[in-house]
Structure 1
Amino acid sequence: MSKSNLLIFGATGAIGSYITAEIVHARASFNRIAVFTSPSTLSAKAEQLSALREEGVEIITGDVTKKDDVVKAFEGIDTIISALGRGVIAAQIPLVQWADSTPNIKRFLPSEYGTDIEYGPSSADEKPHQQKLKVRAALQQTKDLEYAYVVTGPYADVPFFLGAAANPRGGTFDVKGRRAVLLGDGKGRVSLSDCSDVGKFVVHALTHWECAKGRALKLNSFTATPEEILAEFERQTGDKWAVEYISLEQLKAFEAEAWEKSQPDATSLTLQRIWTEGGTLYDRRDNEDIGAGDTVSLAGAVQKAIRAQLAR
């Protein structure tokens, strides 16, 4: 396959920044790299976009909800990478439809990064999954578009795993306070992905497309229990930490309350409950299928978390 011409949506967002950085790092594997951004983002993130421009990335400005703007941006492009955030996931549906009706667009990688939305029969009923499920349905209805789903499990970098969460009812590892709140009994295994690895997974999927296409790729950096994570924090800080546990039943109660009262952590509590129930575990991971075996380790992720928390 000839080198792809890429267009990235959500390139400067929370996970999009990592994905874009890894694509730029691997630019020798691609022909053209462009990002689609709004005029407001062009102004608000001028420095970030300027840095991308200096790396040879094309910056295309427009309104993601306007077909004319998007179809114009599709010119000369054959591969779409979406990293749109959870709040605008449904905006991908028209993008998928417009891409399918544009002959030069061959591949679409949707914003799937995170929890597996088709892990089991109950997954279809989980509230945070609904918009992503609609995007999958839209992709499956396309005529000529190839696609793949990069499923990574929870990000190791976010506060409720390797960070100090402001609201610890969803779990926390607080380096400055030497305090951990562990979910479940602390012995349940969770597969995590470092955000930089998420970007690498996208690159590997694109460069191993014949293996990736049509699949929900189950990818992760490492698997560990909350107690193993805590032990690594204690080893690297040289201190014993104060530890509390939130049982699965307590977590479910917090989750129900959060949804009932429209609290801001409702989505994250549902995801944390899914992970605590084992919803990130598989018989095998697909990393090696796309050449993505070299990933951040538990020790490396904890080291980064300690550095980040102490820098605040």
Structure 2
Amino acid sequence: MAAKNILLFGATGQIGSFILEAILTTRDSFGRVAIFTSARTAETKSAYLEKLKQQKIEIIIGDVDDENAVKAAYNGIDTVISALGRNTLAQQISLIRLAAASPDVKWFFPSEYGTDIAYGPASANEKPHQQKLKVRAVIEREISRSDLDYSYIVTGPFAEMYLDFTPGLEEAGGWDVKRRKAVLLGEKGAARVSLTTMKDVGTLVLSALLNAGPEVRNRPLRVNSFTTTPAEIQAEFERQTTGQPWESVSETSLERLRELEKAAWDAGNAAATVLTLRRIWTEGGTLYEKRDNGLIGEPKVMGLQEVIANEIRRVSSL
């Protein structure tokens, strides 16, 4: 059964806003579309929420930790999409249990967007994966016995974030158009990585909602925008800027990345998560024999040239 009445958590956040924007492009394909937001967000983003109301979006104000508020929000809703951020992922456990107990909710999308947390046996021990793994455990050990379906939208790293340097940690890789500076990950920048733009996250979630057959339910959907290498990204930056090699292009080996990662975790450095994720990506943890875009209708997604052009325009506007 296709999604009809949708409720989004985290709809005004970084990724949630792209999912909501995608749904708005085909608003009439759905019955109700509602977002659950906090009183603080309702106050600080009142103009934005008013605009959403004019686009036939219901605004439900409440606290995600208030079970009665969540139960009331679920009334008449068949599909729930969570886009809660990394620091609030554990709150999904209650949301999922309440959805399984609801007579109306039949399909749940947990906040999975990003690195595959079950890529291989080693994934279970990766520190940044632990909260998402706890959420999956509840779904697969408890909720699988109910009639609530789920879909994990696994996108790999966001292209926009992959391109950016981490402040104070340039060895972790990135590109700086203004300084014509790049640090490529892996030997000769040859490590293949699959990226997904934030806009395409919305496109891919929407396509899953519209292509709701059994083949897209109760499983991870490993989707992405494109697969490339740091060297190919660098070549495209050079082609679209000066047409000449940049002044400063260096490499961070996988061995060096592992050293930086260990030191960051040992020191309690907040950058440790970034280093772990970039090490996973450089090891090939985003690559599959076949991506699942075709299962959801092969939606049109962005390519490398477009992403680089957008990044150059963004930097030029600063």
TM-score by length of 1: 0.97
Match of 2:164 in 1: 163
How far residue 163 of structure 1 moved from its aligned partner, in angstroms, is 2.8
Aligned ranges for residues 70-89 of structure 1 at < 5 Å?
A: 70-89=70-89
Q: Render the CA deviation track for 1:39-79: whole Å, top value 9, x for unaligned.
A: 11112222332222221111100000110111111111111
Kindly state the Cα deviation for residue 2 of structure 1 after the two structures are TM-superposed.
5.9
Q: Which amino acid aligns with 2:94?
A: P
Aligned to 2:156: 153
In structure 2, do the counterparts of structure 1 residues 261 and 102 end up closer, same or farther at CA, with 3 Å as the change threshold?
A: same
Deviation at 1:36? 0.2
Deviation (angstroms), 1:258: 1.3
Deviation (angstroms), 1:193: 0.3
Q: Is the 8 A contact 1:3 1:29 kept in 2?
A: no
1:5 and 2:5 aligned: yes
* Counterpart Cα distance in 2 of 1:275 and 1:49: 36
1:42/1:61 contact within 8 Å kept:
yes
Q: Which amino acid aligns with 2:100?
A: D
Q: How many residues align?
A: 310
Q: In the alignment, which residue of structure 1 is the partner of 2:271? A: 265
Q: Whole-Å Cα distance in 2 between the matches of residues 178 and 51 of structure 1?
A: 40
- Counterpart-to-counterpart distance in 2, 1:225 and 1:311: 26
Given that 1:165 and 1:173 are in contact with CA atoms closer than 8 Å, whether structure 2 keeps it comes out as no
Q: How much does 1:114 deviate?
A: 0.4
- C-alpha separation in 2, matches of 1:80 and 1:3: 9
- Per-residue deviation, residues 74-129 of structure 1 (Å, max 9, x unmatched): 11111100000011101000000001001111110110000000000000000011
Worse overlay, 286-295 or 46-55: 46-55
User: d(CA) in 2 for partners of 1:266 and 1:107?
Assistant: 34
TM-score (norm 2): 0.95
1:1-312 to 2 correspondences below 5 Å: 1=1, 4-140=4-140, 141-142=142-143, 143-158=146-161, 161-166=162-167, 167-185=169-187, 186-210=189-213, 211-238=215-242, 239-241=244-246, 242-312=248-318
Report SS of the residue matched to 2:175.
Answer: strand
Cα deviation for residue 3 of structure 1 reads 5.3
Contact 2:165–2:172 (CA under 8 A) maintained in structure 1:
no
**Match for 2:48: what amino acid?**
Q
Further displaced range: 120-129 or 254-263: 254-263
Which 4+ runs in 1 deviate beyond 4 A? none
Deviation at 1:33, TM superposition (A): 0.4
- Structure-2 change in CA distance of 1:217 and 1:3 (3 Å): closer
- The Cα shift of 1:164 comes to 4.4
Cα deviation code 1:270-308 (max 9, x no counterpart): 100000000000000010111134210000011111111
For structure 1, the 5+ residue unaligned runs are: none
Counterpart of 2:179, as a letter, is G
SS of alignment partner, residue 299 of structure 1 = helix
Aligned equivalents of 1:245, 1:251: Cα separation in 2: 10
Task: Name the aligned partner's letter for residue 226 of structure 1.
Answer: P
Identify if the C-alpha distance between structure 1 residues 78 and 227 changes in structure 2 by more than 3 Å, giving closer, same or farther.
same
CA contact (8 A) 1:163 1:305 kept: no
State the Cα RMSD in Å.
Answer: 1.2
Secondary structure, counterpart of 2:153 in structure 1: strand
